[in-house]
Amino acid sequence: MSNENLQQLIKDLAGKQLADGTQLSIEMFDGENTVACIKVEDREEFPIYMTVDEGQILCITYLFGDDQVDPNKRAALAEDMLIMNVSIPLSAFSKIGDQYIMFGALSPKASIDELVHEIELLSDNVLEAIEAVADYLKEAA
Amino acid sequence: MSIFRKLLTAVRGGATDVGEAIVDSQAIRILEQELRDSKKALNDAKTGLTSIMAEKMGVDRKVKELSAKITEHEGYAMSAMDKGDESLALDVANKIAEFEHDLSIQQGIQEGYESKVVSLKKMIRQTERNIQAMDREVSVVKTTAKVQKANELASAKFSGSNSSLTSATDSLERIKARQQKKEDQASAAMDFAAEDDGDDLQARLKSAGIVNSASSGSSILDRLKKKQGDK
């Protein structure tokens, strides 16, 4: 795990803004210095977790858990996510444990501007995605 | 089993129980052990290749020597025939036959080594590729495990409860409401500013005597009446 790379990225991202002037806040998240947490202003509900290793920079956002999915619509949800995957710019759906996620991966050599662009798209995609699959989720209690 | 399949098993690990670590650490340990084993096997294969190549070089040398001896003895047989010594020539020819027999055996061994070297090299390349892929994948799996831990911490901080209790659609609604509120505030501020400017302008015009304080409606009516009169 290349912690130094992550620390450098945090330094480079600090104080950055998205294209529309939205602020980003970023901090090291865990004691082992392996995960950074990025929050997009006004979208704090969906933080983006960032990790770096030799192979890639990985940005992950949690969408919802299995328990929020209408059990009768699970298969349809999975199929729609698979179908949507290709047409979503730069991000893709996946699942970690019982949590559905959206993620984007970049080369560790990517520029900071490319990374900011990735974060912006991921943040937008997450909101779009939840809206798109809302019908498959249980009614909010 | 393919690497992807193994990884799937590892990642699936504790996924059945909500709240449990998603990555089966035992499975990851097994994968890492397999990785170490593969790397060791790769090293062994490389050592094996080196010794086979050394043996092949020995055989190559023998083949070369035998070929040289055959050429040499062919020369002797010719000289013997030139001198009319048929029986000596026959002895030499018999010797050549022995050499040729040895040569064909050594050439067979040489071919065997050659194909072994090719297949071993191919296997080493494949193993190296597999190890690289596995290394990458294991690293990603370990990363996601850390991210998951982070998410659990975050949702505990954020809502004081597990993330699965905060509904994604609720969050989305909150974000949209916040965005709408911001937009409303912005447009209200703009309207207000416009009104403000307008009031200010009216007041200044009035105080300058350009617009009189009476309703401008009456002055318009006056103007219209005058227009009508002109016709």
Q: What tens digit of pLDDT does each residue of B17-34 get? A: 444 455 566 777 777 888
Average pLDDT, stretch A84-104? 90
Interchain pair A140, B136: CB under 8 A = no
Q: How far is B41 from chain A (nearest CA, A)?
A: 24
Question: Residue A29: its chain B contacts at CB < 8 A?
Answer: 150, 153-154
* Residues facing residue A65 across a β-bridge: A99
Q: How far is B161 from chain A (nearest CA, A)?
A: 13
Rounded Cα distance, B158 and B175, in Å:
15
Nearest-Cα residue of chain B relative to residue A43:
B175
Question: Which pTM was predicted?
Answer: 0.62
Residue A25: closest CA among A9, A13, A34: A13
pLDDT at A118: 94
Q: How far is A113 from chain B (nearest CA, A)?
A: 23
pLDDT at B230: 77
Question: Residue B132: its chain A contacts at CB < 8 A?
Answer: none
Q: Which residue has the tokens 């509900």?
A: A45
pLDDT at A53: 82
Interchain pair A62, B163: CB under 8 A = yes
Rounded Cα distance, B99 and B74, in Å:
11
Instruction: Give me the residue from B143, B151, B182 closest to A51, CB to CB.
Output: B143
The answer, yes or no, to whether residue A102 has pLDDT greater than 90, is yes
Rounded Cα distance, A104 and B208, in Å:
63
**Order of strands across the sheet that contains A24-28:** A24-28, A36-40, A48-52, A57-65, A99-106, A92-96
Instruction: Give me the residue from B21, B146, B179 closest to A35, CB to CB.
Output: B146
pLDDT at B106: 95
Nearest-Cα residue of chain B relative to residue A46:
B171
Nearest-Cα residue of chain A relative to residue B140:
A53
Sorted by sequence, the CB contacts under 8 Å of residue A63 that are 6+ apart come out as A46, A93, A99, A100, A101, A102, A126, A129, A130, B168
The strand ranges marked E within B12-62 are: none
Interchain pair B144, A141: CB under 8 A = no
Higher per-residue confidence, B10 vs A118 = A118
Read off the pLDDT band of B231 (50, 70, 90).
low
Q: How far is A121 from chain B (nearest CA, A)?
A: 16
Q: How far is A18 from chain B (nearest CA, A)?
A: 16
Interchain pair A99, B151: CB under 8 A = yes
Q: What tens digit of pLDDT does each residue of B175-207 get? A: 888 888 888 887 887 777 777 666 776 777 777
Instruction: Give me the residue from B143, B154, B164 closest to A67, CB to CB.
Output: B164
Question: Residue B11: its chain A contacts at CB < 8 A?
Answer: 96
Instruction: Give me the residue from B18, B144, B172 closest to A96, CB to CB.
Output: B144
Interchain pair B172, A131: CB under 8 A = yes
Q: What tens digit of pLDDT does each residue of B105-155 get? A: 999 999 999 999 999 899 898 888 888 877 877 777 777 777 777 777 766
Average pLDDT, stretch A114-138? 93
Read off the pLDDT band of A141 (50, 70, 90).
very low
Rounded Cα distance, B146 and A30, in Å:
8
Nearest-Cα residue of chain B relative to residue A44:
B175
Average pLDDT, stretch B28-50? 85
ipTM exceeds 0.95, yes or no: no
Q: What are the structure tokens assigned to B219, written together?
A: 């002055």
What would you report as the CA-atom Rg of chain A, rounded to the nearest whole angstrom? 15
Chain-centroid distance of CA B78 in Å reads 68
Q: What are the structure tokens assigned to B91, written together?
A: 């002895």
Question: Residue A31: its chain B contacts at CB < 8 A?
Answer: none
* Residues facing residue A61 across a β-bridge: A48, A102
pLDDT at B225: 82
Rounded Cα distance, B45 and B60, in Å:
22
Q: 3-state DSSP call for residue B180?
A: helix
* Residues facing residue A26 across a β-bridge: A38
The answer, yes or no, to whether residue B9 has pLDDT greater than 70, is no
Q: What tens digit of pLDDT does each residue of B60-72 get? A: 999 999 999 999 9
Interchain pair A34, B143: CB under 8 A = yes
Residue B127: closest CA among B2, B30, B41, B207: B41
Mean pLDDT of chain B: 80
Q: 3-state DSSP call for residue B161?
A: coil
Q: What are the structure tokens assigned to B143, written together?
A: 């990363």
Question: Residue B175: its chain A contacts at CB < 8 A?
Answer: 42-43, 45-46, 127
Please state which of the ranges A81-85, B13-17, B82-86, B92-96 shows the lowest mean pLDDT: B13-17
Interchain pair A67, B154: CB under 8 A = no
